[in-house]
């Protein structure tokens, strides 16, 4: 007989301060999805409205007692706060509540630890977890003894977190050194792609928007798809061919989310930077979600933090087959509305990508000698060639198209 899977019994706690009721509800729903993706089962919820969080206990002494009673009543083993807790908050809550107390950041870190497959991804998760836990090692007391298993504890492990701060700092230094080697290698690969003239496209978007599905629809990537948060952590670059015959690369990146921990923004910067040198970004948006604007804004703000907001963006509203609003219209421009699972939509996206790039690229005209078939072949692959004809009188090929501004071919043909 198959053993039934055991889930941690979790209570969610959220404090509404300045956000609207809809934003607050959306954030709590997202926290529930995060907890479920980490292997927990939400059995209760405690919310309150305050002008600002309580400096000592986050939710105030009266609400803290209510939380303690609710934890006992529901036999919950874990309490997850929607906002990030300071070390003193955790310590003071733990004195009253008989359960493991963690926050949204720890749940996100936990999911990253579960999903990271590559050496780089695992190192980045470990670094982010150590950076988060380092200031929380002193004075955790009872809560540290509870952090032995389950949500919020995967990755470095209890034994590593119990070692002295000097050892952890040295460990973080070693991880950064290893990551720098990988980052340098990535930079060399990006430089090579840039010098080759190949068109580069970056996939970005809120987590679970369907980026991997888009990548699989446009290339033969065969990457993992799932209706889950952070299904893809490790960047994946694959080749694709545009309708004109131009060759391009498309890179899938980690999904963004509201309140992404600062430690993760820093730790995963090199991963997301795979799309930094892109000629354009495809911002994939789950069009079936009710709160699209908030998610779009989150991605834009994170792009600003990553200094990638100057890259041209084509908005791809995905999951059109699941949209309930019959009057749905895309708010961002330029944009396409598609379902990545429909084959005809994949061809449509490719045509729109090429049309978008023509708007961003510079026009060129060139005459190629018949003996220079190598140059002709490269122009077909590395530029969007729109015209090619053999001029019998001049005994040459007359070609025209669009190429990257200030790129290799722009310099050679228009310089």
Domain boundaries, the chain: 8-112, 120-137+168-195, 197-359, 361-414
Long-range contacts of 81-85 (CB under 8 A, 24+ apart): 81/13, 81/14, 82/12, 82/13, 82/14, 82/15, 82/27, 82/28, 82/31, 83/14, 83/15, 83/53, 83/58, 83/259, 84/259, 84/261, 85/58
361-414 maps to which CATH number?
A: 3.30.1370
Task: Record the tokens describing residue 306, joined without a space.
Answer: 């990553």
pLDDT of residue 395: 94
Binding positions for Mg(2+) are 212, 232
Q: What CATH class does 8-112 carry? A: alpha beta
How high is the pLDDT of residue 2?
47
Residues annotated within the binding site are: 205-212, 230-234, 252-255, 318-321, 339-341
Q: What is the pLDDT of residue 413?
A: 87
361-414 has the same fold as 8-112: no
Annotated binding site for GTP: 205-212, 230-234, 252-255, 318-321, 339-341
Burial class from Cβ neighbours inside 10 Å (0-12, 13-18, 19+) for residue 377 reads: exposed
The Cα–Cα gap between 42 and 4 comes to 17
What pLDDT was estimated at residue 393?
93
Spell 184-202 as b/e; 16+ CB within 10 A means b: eebeeebeebeeebbbbbb
Closest CA to 250 of 233, 237, 263: 237
How does pLDDT run along the chain (415 residues), one tens digit per residue? 444 557 899 999 999 998 899 889 989 999 999 999 899 999 999 999 999 999 999 999 999 999 999 999 999 999 999 999 999 999 999 999 999 999 999 998 888 888 877 788 888 888 888 888 888 775 454 455 555 567 766 655 555 555 567 788 888 999 999 988 887 887 787 677 666 678 999 999 998 898 888 999 998 765 555 566 676 666 678 899 999 999 999 988 878 888 777 777 766 666 676 777 889 999 999 999 888 888 899 899 888 888 889 999 999 999 999 988 878 888 899 999 999 989 899 999 999 999 999 999 999 999 999 999 999 999 999 999 999 999 999 999 999 999 998 888 888 888 6
* CA–CA separation, 317 and 372 (whole Å): 43
Q: Could you tell me the CATH superfamily of domain 197-359?
A: P-loop containing nucleotide triphosphate hydrolases (3.40.50.300)
58 backbone φψ class: left, alpha, beta (φ>0; ψ -120 to 50)? left
């Amino acid at each position: 007989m198959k053993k039934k899977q055991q889930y941690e019994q979790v209570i969610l706690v959220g404090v509404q301060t300045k956000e609207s009721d809809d934003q607050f509800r959306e954030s709590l729903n997202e926290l529930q999805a995060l907890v479920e993706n980490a292997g927990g089962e939400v059995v209760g919820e405690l919310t309150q409205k305050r002008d600002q969080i309580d400096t000592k206990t986050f939710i105030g002494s009266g609400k803290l007692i209510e939380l303690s009673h609710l934890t006992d009543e529901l036999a919950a083993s874990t309490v997850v706060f929607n906002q990030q807790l300071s070390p003193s908050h955790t310590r003071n809550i733990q004195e009253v509540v008989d359960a493991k107390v963690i926050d949204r950041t720890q749940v996100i870190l936990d999911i990253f630890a579960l999903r990271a497959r590559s050496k780089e991804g695992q190192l980045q998760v470990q670094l982010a977890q150590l950076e988060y836990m380092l200031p929380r090692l002193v004075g955790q007391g009872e809560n540290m003894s509870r952090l032995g298993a389950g949500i919020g504890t995967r990755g470095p492990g209890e034994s590593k977190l119990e070692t002295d701060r000097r050892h952890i700092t040295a460990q973080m230094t070693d991880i950064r050194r290893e990551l720098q080697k990988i980052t340098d290698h990535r930079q060399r690969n990006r430089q090579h792609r840039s010098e080759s003239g190949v068109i580069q496209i970056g996939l970005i978007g809120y987590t679970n928007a369907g980026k991997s599905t888009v990548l699989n629809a446009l290339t033969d990537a065969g990457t993992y798809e799932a209706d889950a948060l952070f299904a893809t952590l490790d960047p994946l670059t694959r080749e694709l061919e545009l309708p004109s015959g131009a060759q391009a690369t498309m890179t899938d990146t980690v999904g963004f989310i509201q309140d992404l921990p600062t430690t993760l923004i820093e730790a995963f910067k090199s991963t997301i930077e795979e799309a930094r040198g892109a000629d354009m970004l495809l911002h994939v948006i789950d069009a079936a979600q009710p709160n699209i604007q908030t998610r779009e804004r989150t991605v834009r703000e994170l792009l600003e933090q990553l200094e990638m907001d100057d890259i041209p963006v084509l908005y791809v509203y995905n999951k059109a087959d699941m949209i309930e609003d019959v009057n749905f219209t895309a708010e961002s421009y330029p944009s396409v509305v598609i379902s990545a699972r429909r084959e005809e939509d994949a061809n449509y996206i490719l045509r729109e990508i090429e049309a978008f790039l023509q708007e961003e690229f510079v026009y060129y005209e060139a005459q190629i000698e018949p003996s220079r078939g190598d140059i002709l072949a490269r122009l077909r692959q590395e530029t969007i060639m729109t015209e090619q004809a053999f001029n019998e009188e001049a005994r040459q090929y007359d070609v025209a198209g669009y190429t990257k501004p200030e790129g290799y071919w722009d310099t050679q043909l228009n310089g």
